[in-house]
Amino acid sequence: DAGVTQSPTHLIKTRGQQVTLRCSPKSGHDTVSWYQQALGQGPQFIFQYYEEEERQRGNFPDRFSGHQFPNYSSELNVNALLLGDSALYLCASRRGGAENQPQHFGDGTRLSIL
């Protein structure tokens, strides 16, 4: 049973560029959330997707956008990259429609901005 998978594992970009990160949820999960984890900090919620729509958003600018596909996989897009966007980007999935289900995380994409 495959867990949450993310690609790529590492990425290097320069300021002003755009990036797309990808996530496949755990089998049986239909809800995908994205988190940003700066070095030495806990993950910070970016947004969550369910039924191909953004259901809730954290305190992140519009440069951060996402998408969910019919097969429940998801993409995170970041435009006009800033040095401060360097972080580990984590995807988490869970079963929607049921309360209090744990989110399961992938191993993340390490994004470095030069």
Partner 1 sequence: GESVGLHLPTLSVQEGDNSIINCAYSNSASDYFIWYKQESGKGPQFIIDIRSNMDKRQGQRVTVLLNKTVKHLSLQIAATQPGDSAVYFCAENGDDYKLSFGAGTTVTVRA
Phi, psi (degrees; rounded to nearest 5) at 39: -60, 125
Tell me the window of 12-20, 37-45, 61-69, 74-82 that interacts with partner 1 (CB under 8 A).
Answer: 37-45
- Cα separation of 65 and 81, whole Å? 13
Residue 2 touching partner 1 (CB under 8 A): no
Residue 56 touching partner 1 (CB under 8 A): yes
Window 8 to 27, contacts with partner 1 (CB under 8 A): none
Tell me the window of 14-22, 43-51, 65-73, 79-87 that interacts with partner 1 (CB under 8 A).
Answer: 43-51
- What DSSP designation does 22 have? E
* CB of residue 17 to partner 1, shortest distance in Å: 24
* Tokens (6 digits) for 52: 């191909």
Cβ(32)–Cβ(49) under 8 Å?
A: yes
**23 vs 78 by CB, closer to partner 1:** 23
Identify the CA nearest to 73 among candidates 100, 99, 102, 93: 93
Measure the CA angle with vertex 93, ends 91 and 97; round to 5°: 145
Window 60 to 89, contacts with partner 1 (CB under 8 A): none
Residues forming contacts to partner 1 in the complex (CB under 8 A) are 4, 33, 35, 40-45, 48, 55-56, 58, 90, 92, 99-100, 102-108
